[in-house]
Amino acid sequence: MNPRIAALLERYAPPVLGGILILLAWEFLPTFFHVSRLLLPPPSSVVRSLWLIYDRGLLVENFAVTLAEALLGFTIGSVTAIFFAFIVTRSLIVERTLMPYLVGLQALPKVALAPLIVVWVGIGIESKILIAAIISFFPVLINAIVGFSTVEAEKIDLMRSLVASRWQQFRIVIFPNSLPFIFAGLNVAIVLSITGALVGEFIGADRGLGNLLLQLNFNMDISGMFAVLMVLALLGIVLYALVRFLHVRFVFWAKPDNLRSGPN
């Protein structure tokens, strides 16, 4: 057999075959154990529900809304976090002033703020973006602070020996050096941003996959809920893969899985 095909089979056969087995079990075993098909709908039912939801025009728009909320919130939260990390590490005064509050806020579960934000900002898309931004902010902030503070002394010595300005030091050494750390934060934040968007939708929304989920729940359409969950999982995978792709592309000099130590 062609060695390349053999390698592909070795890699992908187990999860694919395992997945098929699970689907088959899921399809037929529940009735065998007298589990109601209403509570645990079989895959065939879920697929049918998915099609129905799509056919009614509920899938695409809600998917786009939740995607936009998560992505925009993630972007705003991450950029703000990197900015804050920059000013905290560049200025001792700023660090002393802000850090105690940032550390305190980090301990607070951000989802607890969600109801308040919906009250303040409304049930439109803005509140979800804000919640997603707040929830994305802290992982990126902490990682960026660590990244900006963790540079090999030799690299800084190199810049100092050339009498580089602080901005030059940041641009040429400190920022690129921190990218592995920042991406570690971004990997975490992207998944959290979906959670943020969903929680916002649960509390008060007229659109989005979370809102759809609640409506289906209200109508006891468990099969439909499963369908939406699968779509959400897909959303998560797509966004995570996007960040991962950027990670590998921009941090080509350090292995993406090396989360704790910097490059080299």
Which of 79, 172, 191, 214 binds another protein (CB under 8 A)? It is 172
Site string for another protein, 127-156 (x = CB under 8 A): -------------------------x-xx-
Asked if residue 161 binds another protein (CB under 8 A), the reply is: yes
The interface region with another protein, picked from 2-10, 61-69, 112-120, 252-260 by CB under 8 A, is: 252-260
Q: Can residue 206 be called a binding residue for another protein (CB under 8 A)?
A: no
Pick the closer one to another protein by CB: 96 or 171.
171
Minimum CB separation from another protein for residue 157, in Å? 6
With CB under 8 A as the contact rule, which of the stretches 53-61, 194-202, 204-212, 247-255 interacts with another protein? 247-255
Q: Which two tokens stand for residue 98?
A: 């802000």
Q: DSSP label at 262? A: -
Query: Are the beta carbons of 200 and 84 closer than 8 angstroms?
Result: no
Nearest approach, Cβ of 263 to another protein (angstroms)? 5
Part in contact with another protein (CB under 8 A); list of ranges 83-91, 105-113, 173-181, 238-246: 173-181
Among 168, 219, 258, 261, binds another protein (CB under 8 A): 168
Question: Of 1 and 163, which CB lies nearer to another protein in the complex structure?
Answer: 163
- State yes or no: residue 256 binds another protein (CB under 8 A): no
Which residues here bind another protein, judged by CB under 8 A? 152, 154-155, 157-164, 168, 172-173, 176, 179, 252-254, 263-264
